[in-house]
Homo-oligomer: A and B are copies of this chain.
Amino acid sequence: MEIARPYLLFLGDVPDALAAKTAIGIVDWRKDWCLGQVRMPGCAADTGLADMSIAEGAEAGAKTFIIGAVNAGGRLPEHWVESVVEALDAGMDVASGLHVRLASVPAIKEAAERNGRQLHDVRHSSMGFATGKGTKRAGKRILAVGTDCSVGKKYTALAMDKAMNDRGYSSTFCATGQTGVFISGRGVALDAVIADFISGAAEWISPETDPDNWQIIEGQGSLFHPSFAGVTLGLLHGSQPDGFIVCHEPTRTKMRGVEAALPTIQQVIDMTIACGKLTNPDIRCVGIAVNTTALDDDEALAYLAKVGEKHGLPATDPVRYGMEAIVDKVSAEFGAP
A220 CB, nearest partner CB in chain B, Å: 9
In the complex, are the beta carbons of A134 and B227 less than 8 A apart? Answer: yes
Instruction: Find chain B residues with CB under 8 A from A260 CB.
Output: 134, 278-279
Number of copies: 2
Instruction: Find chain B residues with CB under 8 A from A191 CB.
Output: 194-196
Assess whether A170 is interfacial by the CB under 8 Å rule. no
Assess whether A295 is interfacial by the CB under 8 Å rule. no
One of A40-48, A54-62, A231-239 at the interface: A231-239
For window 220-270 of A, CB contacts with B under 8 Å fall at 223-224, 226-235, 237-238, 257-260
Number of interface residues of A (CB under 8 A): 38
In the complex, are the beta carbons of A135 and B227 less than 8 A apart? Answer: no
Assess whether A190 is interfacial by the CB under 8 Å rule. yes
In the complex, are the beta carbons of B199 and A226 less than 8 A apart? Answer: yes
Assess whether A151 is interfacial by the CB under 8 Å rule. no
Q: A134-B260, A260-B278 are in contact. List 13 more A-B contacts (CB 8 A).
A: A132-B258, A133-B226, A135-B258, A193-B194, A194-B194, A196-B227, A196-B228, A199-B228, A223-B275, A226-B238, A230-B231, A230-B234, A274-B274
Residues of A at the B interface (CB closer than 8 Å) are: 131-135, 190-196, 198-200, 223-224, 226-235, 237-238, 257-260, 271, 274-275, 278-279
A-B contact list, 14 entries, CB within 8 Å: A132-B227, A132-B258, A133-B259, A190-B195, A191-B195, A192-B196, A195-B230, A200-B227, A226-B278, A229-B237, A229-B278, A231-B234, A233-B233, A260-B278
